[in-house]
Structure 1
Amino acid sequence: MLRKLLVTASIALCAQLAHAAEAGKIIFVAGMAQVVDRPALQDAAVQEGELLTTGADGFIYIKTLDNGLFILRPNTRARIVTYHIDAKTPENTRIKLELLSGVARSKSGDAVKLARQNFRFNTPVAAIGVRGTDFTVFTDQDTSRVAVISGGIVVSGFAGACSREGAGPCEGMASRELSASQRGLLLQIQRGQGAPQLMSSANVGPDNIAPPRSDEPLAKSGGMTNAPAAIVVEPNLDAKKNESLAQAVVPRVPQEPVPPVVTPPPVVDPGHKPDPVLPPVLPPVVPPVIVPQKDSGILWGRWQSVGPSPTMIDLTEERSRSELLAVKGNFALFRTPGKEYVARENGSVGFSMAASDAYVYTDYGYGNRTTATASLSNGRLDVNFGSKTFATSFDLTSKDESFKFQAQGALSADGRLYGENANGRAGHMNVDGVLSNEKGGTAAYIFDGRIDARRTINGGTSWRIKNQ
C-alpha cells in the first residue's frame, strides 16, 4: 500500500513538472538573488511556480512572455504561479502572480491587457486585480499596501466569495479601487480587515520601504528591451577633455590698460545761498484692514461617472487646493481651505438633510452589474460633543422599494466623522464625514452599504443644523 502511494505521488509530481512552463526571462539581476535554490542569472528562463528570492542588496527584473515586467526589490520572496497565454482566445489566458513578502512591481503585458478579468496578484492578505496597470506592492504576513504608477487596480481581502485559490479580480462590497490619478495615495489592507483603507503613501509606500534602483524601467518607457530602460550614464570623458582643450587654446589677446575716469569737482558760486532743507512729507497713517478668515468648507461628489451621471469633481485638480478626506466607491469628500474647525467640549446638535446623491448596484456575477438611482428621505444626523459620537439614519428608495439604513461612530477634535465598520451587514453603512462652521453649521458624509447578497449602495449627503 505504501509503495502504491509513493508511486502515485511520484507520477503526480512528474506530471506537475511536465506541465510547468516558461513564464519569462531574467533581463537584469544584482546582489544576492536566487531562483529556487540556484543563483539568478541574466537571460535565464523563469518557470511557472518557481520561488524567487532576493537578499538585502538583491534585485531581479523579469520580462514576462507578453512583454510585461515583474520586479523584485531587496528582501523579497515571490513566484509567478501561472502564466498561460492564449493569443487566439484571450478569454482562456490565465495569469497569477504571488508576493509572499517584501516589495514587488508588476507592469501588465499585452496578454494581461486583453484578459484583465483573468489576472490575479495575491499577497498573504489580499487579492489584486488590474485595469491594465503598472503598480507596486509591499506585504508582510499581516499587512499589504498597493500604490499605482499608471492605470488602476481593485483590491480585496480574502473573505466570502474572494478566495486565495480564485482567478481574476475580486469585486464586490468589500473591494476598493485606486487609480493613478489619485497621486500620493495607496490602499492598505490588514489581516481580518473588512475592506482596504485609502491612505496617504507618505513614508509608508512600497517605494519608501524598498526604493527602486536608478536603472529601473520608467513607468512610460517605450517598451521593454533585454536591458534596463533608464540607466544613468556619465558624460563622455573624451568630450570633457576636448572641451577643456578648446578652452585652453583660445588665443589670449593683450589688452591696452584703460585710464581711470576722473570726475572734476563741482564749481561753487561764492554768492549763492543753499536752498533751505525742508522736512520730508510723510504719508498719512492708514490703519490695516483686518479681513476675518473664512471657515473651512466641505465639498463632496462623484469623482467617477455613474451610468449617465457625469463626474462632479476632478480628483487630481481638487487635491491641489483642498484636503482629500475620504473616497468611497464613486464618491469623494474634501475639506476646503479656511479656518480650522474645533469641536466643542460638550452639548449636542441635530442636523437635517440638505442634499443627497445615491445609487444602487446589483451584481449578477461574471462582471454583469446594473446601476439604478436612489432617493433618500427621513434623514437624521445627531452629534454628541460630550461623548464624541454621532448617529445617522435615512430611508433609501429605489424602483418602488424602500430600505432603512443607519450608522454610528466617533467624532474627532477637528470635526471628522469616522463610522464603525458595517462588516457587510444589511441596513448598515460605512460612513466618512466632516463638520464645518460654514453657514452657521454644516456637515457632509459619503457612504456605502449592503441591501442584500447582490445589491449594494453608494452615495453622499450634506446636512445643515436644524431650524436654519
Structure 2
Amino acid sequence: MRKLILLFSLFALAAAASAEEAGRVVFVAGKAQVATRPAALEAAVQEGDELSTGADGYIYMKTVDNGFLILRPNSRAKVVAYHVDKADPSQTRVKLELLSGVARSISGTAVKQARQNFRFNTPVAAIGVRGTDFIVYTNEQSSWVSVVSGGVVVSGFAGACGPEGGGPCEGAASRELFAGRPDVMLQVQRGQNVPQLLQGAAVAPELNVPARPDEPVGKVAPTPLTKGTMGDVSLDVAKSTGQVLNQQLPPKPPTDPITPPPVVVVEPEPDPITPPPPPPVEVPKGPPEIIWGRWKSFAGLATTPEEIAKIKAEAGQNTVLYGAYLIGRPNSSSFVLPTEGKASFTLTESEAFLQRDTQLAQAASVKDAKLSVDFGARSFDTSLTVYNDMGQVNVSATGEIARNGVFGSSLLSQGGKVHGLLGGSSANEAVYSFSSASTPGGLVASGITRWTR
C-alpha cells in the first residue's frame, strides 16, 4: 500500500512539474482565487489552474508572452494550455476557457505569432483571434463577444468544431467581428451553430460587468481596411508591477455596484499662503493634428485614398473607424489627456448628409452644434442638428473617453452614435463621425465633424 501511495505521489509531482507557467498575477482586488489558494500579487498561474472571482473580485494575469487575461467579478476561467515555443512559433499552443462570467483576453507576442494555435472556449462557443483584444460574457446557455482591438472568429460547437479542439474554428458556420464598432457584438446560444450579430444589445459585456477604470486601454486599429496590422495595447506601467494608483483614477459612477479595495491616500500639507487663481491661459491653436478620410464612397462622394494612406502610415496606433470615415491621430503626437477640468469645443468643420430609406443621401448643413468634455470624469456630451430641404434631424450622444483619447457613445445613448478622437498636446482638438436613429419619416443623418477649443 505504501508503495502504491508513493507511486501515485510521484505521478502527481511529475504532472505538476510538466505544467508550464502561463503567467503571474499583477493585480488582485476583492475575493479571488488561483486554483485552491487565494490570489496574491506575483502568484504564478500554471497550466491547468482555474481562476475565480467573487462578487467584488478582479484578477489581472500577465501572461509569459506579455499578454493579459482579466477576470471581472463573479467569473471563472481555466488555463487549459499555455505552451510557448519561441524558437518555433508553429509549436506554440494556447487554450483558455471562460466557464462563467466576464473575461478580457489581450494577446501576447507568442499568440500574435501563432494565432492558428490559439483557442478561447466558452460553454457554447469557440473563439479564435484575428488580432489582440476582446471581451467575453458567458453563462451555460449563451455567450456574447465584443472586440476592443483587432478581430475574432467565432463559431458554435458543431460538427468538426468541438470544445476539445485547438485553434480557431473556421468554416461556413463561423463569423468574424472586427474592432471599430463598439456597439456591435456576436452572440452564440447553446445548439446554435452560426453566431448572431447584435447591435446595441443591453447584455453587452461592458454593461453586464463594467471594467475597473484602471483596466488597460486598447488602441483600435482600422482592421476592416488593414487586416494584417493589428493595434497594440497601452498598459499602465504601475499596473504591470501589480500596483494600481487608485488616487489617479477617475471616480466610479454611482451606478457601479463594485466597490474598489480601500486605499490610504496621503494628503499633501497645504501651502501656508494660498496664491490667487492664475489668469485664464489661452490654449495654443496650431494646424489641425487629427486626420480623417473616406475609406468608402458615400452620397456620390469618392473615397480619399491620399488621406487613408496617410492615416495608415502615420497614425496606425490611434485610429477610429465608423461609418464611411477613418480618423487618425499621428503616432508622433504629444497628446496627453488632462486629468481634471471641463472644456467646451466649437465646431470648425463638418461634412453631413440626410438620407431617406434607400434614396441617395443628400448634402446637408449642421447647426446648434455643442461638444463639452469633462476631463475629470473622462466623459463627453454632444449634440447637433443636421438639416436641408428634406427636413432636419437632431443628433445627441454621451459617452466615455479612454486614456488614449478615443471616445464613443454609450450603448444607452438613444439620440445617435458617435465615435472619434481627441488630439493636440492639450486635448484642444476633436474629430468624430456620427449617425442618427431613423426619424418617424424615415430620415437618417450621418457625417463627420471637427472641433477646437
Question: Which TM-score tier does this pair reach, normalised by the shorter chain?
Answer: 0.5 to 0.7
Match of 1:316 in 2: 322
Establish whether residue 247 from structure 1 lines up as the match of residue 262 from structure 2: no
- 1:7 and 1:110, CA in 2 relative to 1: closer, same or farther beyond 3 A? same
Q: What does residue range 363-402 of structure 1 map to in structure 2 within 5 Å? A: none
Match of 2:109 in 1: 110
Matched residue type, 1:227: G
- 1:339 and 1:67, CA in 2 relative to 1: closer, same or farther beyond 3 A? closer
Q: Deviations over 1:25-66 (max 9, x none)?
A: 000000000112211001111111111110000000000000
8 Å contact kept, 2:107–2:131: yes
Match of 1:346 in 2: none
Match of 1:207 in 2: 206
8 Å contact kept, 2:41–2:242: no
- 1:123 and 1:4, CA in 2 relative to 1: closer, same or farther beyond 3 A? farther
Establish whether residue 226 from structure 1 lines up as the match of residue 241 from structure 2: yes
CA distance in 2 between partners of 1:159 and 1:5 (Å): 42
CA distance in 1 between partners of 2:212 and 2:195 (Å): 28
Question: Residue 227 of structure 1: CA displacement?
Answer: 3.3
- 1:3 and 1:171, CA in 2 relative to 1: closer, same or farther beyond 3 A? farther
TM (normalized to structure 1)? Answer: 0.51
Match of 2:294 in 1: none
Question: Residue 203 of structure 1: CA displacement?
Answer: 1.9
- 1:236 and 1:30, CA in 2 relative to 1: closer, same or farther beyond 3 A? closer
Q: What does residue range 63-462 of structure 1 map to in structure 2 within 5 Å? A: 63-220=62-219, 221-223=233-235, 225-227=240-242, 231=246, 233=248, 238=268, 241-242=270-271, 245-247=274-276, 316-318=322-324, 337-338=355-356
Matched residue type, 1:77: R
Q: Deviations over 1:196-243 (max 9, x none)?
A: 00002442111111100111121145456223678551799548x349
Q: Which has the larger displacement, 213-222 or 145-154?
A: 213-222
TM (normalized to structure 2)? Answer: 0.52
Match of 1:389 in 2: none
8 Å contact kept, 1:130–1:153: yes
SS in 1 for 2:356: coil
8 Å contact kept, 1:154–1:178: yes
Match of 2:416 in 1: none
- 1:227 and 1:9, CA in 2 relative to 1: closer, same or farther beyond 3 A? closer
SS in 1 for 2:116: helix
- 1:339 and 1:168, CA in 2 relative to 1: closer, same or farther beyond 3 A? closer
CA distance in 1 between partners of 2:247 and 2:120 (Å): 31
Question: Residue 5 of structure 1: CA displacement?
Answer: 9.2
SS in 1 for 2:162: coil
Q: Which has the larger displacement, 214-223 or 15-24?
A: 214-223
CA distance in 2 between partners of 1:177 and 1:158 (Å): 16
8 Å contact kept, 2:216–2:234: no
8 Å contact kept, 1:217–1:229: no
Q: Deviations over 1:379-435 (max 9, x none)?
A: xxxxxxxxxxxxxxxxxxxxxxxxxxxxxxxxxxxxxxxxxxxxxxxxxxxxxxxxx
- 1:231 and 1:109, CA in 2 relative to 1: closer, same or farther beyond 3 A? farther
Question: Residue 102 of structure 1: CA displacement?
Answer: 0.3
Matched residue type, 2:123: P
Question: Residue 194 of structure 1: CA displacement?
Answer: 2.2
Structure 2 residue ranges without an equivalent (≥5): 220-232, 250-264, 278-297, 300-319, 327-353, 360-440, 443-453
CA distance in 1 between partners of 2:39 and 2:102 (Å): 18
CA distance in 2 between partners of 1:245 and 1:315 (Å): 47
Q: Deviations over 1:74-111 (max 9, x none)?
A: 00010111110000100000001110000000000010
CA distance in 2 between partners of 1:244 and 1:22 (Å): 56
Q: Deviations over 1:281-304 (max 9, x none)?
A: xxxxxxxxxxxxxxxxx99xxxxx
Question: Residue 188 of structure 1: CA displacement?
Answer: 0.3
Matched residue type, 2:147: V
SS in 2 for 1:166: coil
Q: Deviations over 1:355-402 (max 9, x none)?
A: xxxxxxxxxxxxxxxxxxxxxxxxxxxxxxxxxxxxxxxxxxxxxxxx
Question: Residue 17 of structure 1: CA displacement?
Answer: 2.1
- 1:102 and 1:244, CA in 2 relative to 1: closer, same or farther beyond 3 A? farther
Matched residue type, 2:322: T
8 Å contact kept, 2:105–2:135: yes
CA distance in 2 between partners of 1:152 and 1:67 (Å): 19
Q: Which has the larger radius of gyration?
A: 1
Matched residue type, 1:218: V
8 Å contact kept, 1:184–1:200: yes
Establish whether residue 53 from structure 1 lines up as the match of residue 82 from structure 2: no
Matched residue type, 2:276: Q
**Alignment length, in residue pairs?**
264
Structure 1 residue ranges without an equivalent (≥5): 249-297, 300-313, 321-335, 342-436, 439-468
SS in 1 for 2:276: helix
Question: Residue 133 of structure 1: CA displacement?
Answer: 1.5
SS in 1 for 2:101: strand
Match of 1:441 in 2: none
8 Å contact kept, 1:214–1:231: no
Match of 2:303 in 1: none
Which is bigger in relative contact order (C-alpha 8 A, separation at least 6)? 2
SS in 2 for 1:137: strand
SS in 2 for 1:155: strand
